[in-house]
């Protein structure tokens, strides 16, 4: 297993002794590359809430490792039933750390299902099965990102301009990423895309993370403020929009970083196809429409004071700071998954992904 761990992506994984989850602290990028090693439930929850680890698939991978690390801390000789009850309680807190990205609850649920299936064999057997499961979640994500990248690349041509919002690159997943996957794969194959990265207020994932990842990969990337997207589209510089997703409802409505739905509305106005890219673990058929997706609201200080030398709004002014919005399915030209590209009507094409 140790060798397998080393093959997986470096920004989220286990320490060599398997006792802690190791992450690159994304909240400090691009200026500082600091790795954290976490073993306590409270620090894992804090890491998710503070976006030290972020992006729907990466949060799921992290949670898988987290459940494994927490399971190791329970008495090896303890009764499997008692340990399982204790693990469920802790895993429940981890799962509730952020509400919108379904991958978090999905990964925790998958780990607990495996633990329940193995409980008859005693706790050491559960722990070793959980190690296998969290590594499988990570490995599968790498394969899914690669497949998404292939499908996404079929939607664009050499020299095209692509606009993206937030960060759905390797940091948010593993290896290729989702929305950035076709861009990075294209770069490897000599298909050069010109990327416009929205800076993505208020937490600047586009400026801090997308620009950082694409720059390092040698991609032609131009950073723009969110309110410049319309002009860039009007100038004819964008042939497709690629964005990630945190949860896709059964009808194709897609939750992603706040501001995404505005990009989709602009793209419709300018006749530019708008694509959502994500693994099937982000599709939640239990949510009939986007209205059923819980939207996280965050601290107003992210708008008022964060990043500024001094506050940029009057003290105490009311702020509204939703972290995500929902893009209506009618604005989406295609939902690109590892199994292929779903087209409208999404109620049918998304359901078909799960009936194969
Ligand atoms: O608040 P964040 O930074 O976790 O939001 C991330 C996004 O909205 C991403 O676009 C989404 O999770 C997809 S990541 C492949």
Concatenating the DSSP letter of every residue in 65-97 gives HHHHHHHHTS-TTS-HHHHHHHHHHHHHHHHTS
pTM listed for this prediction: 0.96
Structurally, what CATH architecture does the domain formed by 2-145 represent? Answer: Up-down Bundle (1.20)
pLDDT of amino acid 101: 95
Q: Is the CB of 171 under 6 A from ligand 1?
A: no
Contact 94, 63 (CB under 8 A): yes
Equal CATH topology for 2-145 and 155-353:
no
Contact 55, 168 (CB under 8 A): yes
| Omega before residue 311 within 30° of 0, cis | no
- Spatial separation of the C-alpha atoms in residues 277 and 168, rounded to whole Å: 9
Least Cα distance to 268 among 240, 227, 245 occurs for 240
For 295-346, the pLDDT digits (tens) are: 999 999 999 999 999 999 999 999 999 999 999 999 999 999 999 999 999 9
For 181-205, the pLDDT digits (tens) are: 999 999 999 999 999 999 999 999 9
Average pLDDT, the chain: 96
Does residue 7 have a pLDDT over 60?
no
- Catalytic residue selected from 246, 253, 284, 325: 246
Catalytic residue flag (residue 113): no
pLDDT band at 1 (very low <50, low <70, confident <90, very high): very low
pLDDT band at 278 (very low <50, low <70, confident <90, very high): very high
Contact 165, 193 (CB under 8 A): no
| Block residue for tokens 């919108």 | 100
pLDDT band at 356 (very low <50, low <70, confident <90, very high): low
CATH number of 155-353: 3.40.50.10470
- Per-domain boundaries in the chain: 2-145, 155-353
Which of 212, 245, 335 to mutate to test ligand 1, by most ligand atoms within 8 A of the CB atom? Answer: 245
User: Which SS3 state, helix, strand or coil, does residue 210 take?
Assistant: helix
Least Cα distance to 68 among 23, 3, 15, 134 occurs for 134
CA atoms within 13 A on the CB side of 110: 22
Does residue 3 have a pLDDT over 60?
no
């Amino acid at each position: 297993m140790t060798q397998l761990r080393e093959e997986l992506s470096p920004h989220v994984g286990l320490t060599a002794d398997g006792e802690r989850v190791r992450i690159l602290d994304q909240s400090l990028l691009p200026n500082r590359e600091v790795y954290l090693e976490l073993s306590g439930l409270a620090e894992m929850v804090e890491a998710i809430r503070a976006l030290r680890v972020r992006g729907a698939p990466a949060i799921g991978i992290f949670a898988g490792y987290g459940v494994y690390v927490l399971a190791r801390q329970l008495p090896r000789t303890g009764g499997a039933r008692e340990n399982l009850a204790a693990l469920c309680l802790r895993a429940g807190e981890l799962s509730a750390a952020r509400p919108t990205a379904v991958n978090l609850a999905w990964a925790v649920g998958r780990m607990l299902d495996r633990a329940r299936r193995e409980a008859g064999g005693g706790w050491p057997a559960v722990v070793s099965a959980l190690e296998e499961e969290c590594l499988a979640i990570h490995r599968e994500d790498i394969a899914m990102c690669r497949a998404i990248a292939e499908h996404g690349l079929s939607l664009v041509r050499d020299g095209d301009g692509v606009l993206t919002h937030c960060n759905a690159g390797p940091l948010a997943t593993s290896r290729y990423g989702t929305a950035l996957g076709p861009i990075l794969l294209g770069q490897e194959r000599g298909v050069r895309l010109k990327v416009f990265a929205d800076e993505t207020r208020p937490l600047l994932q586009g400026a801090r993370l997308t620009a950082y990842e694409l720059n390092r990969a040698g991609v032609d990337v131009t950073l723009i403020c969110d309110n410049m997207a319309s002009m860039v589209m009007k100038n004819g510089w964008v042939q497709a929009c690629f964005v990630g997703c945190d949860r896709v409802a059964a009808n194709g409505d897609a939750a992603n970083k706040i501001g995404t739905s505005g990009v989709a509305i602009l793209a419709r106005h300018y006749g530019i196809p708008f694509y959502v890219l994500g693994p099937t673990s982000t599709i939640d058929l239990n949510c009939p429409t986007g209205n059923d997706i819980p939207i996280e609201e965050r601290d107003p200080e992210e708008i008022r004071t964060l990043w500024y030398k001094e506050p940029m709004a009057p003290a105490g002014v009311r702020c509204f700071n939703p972290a995500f919005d929902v893009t209506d399915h009618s604005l989406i030209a295609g939902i690109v998954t590892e199994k292929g590209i779903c087209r409208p009507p999404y109620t049918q094409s998304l359901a078909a992904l799960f009936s194969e």
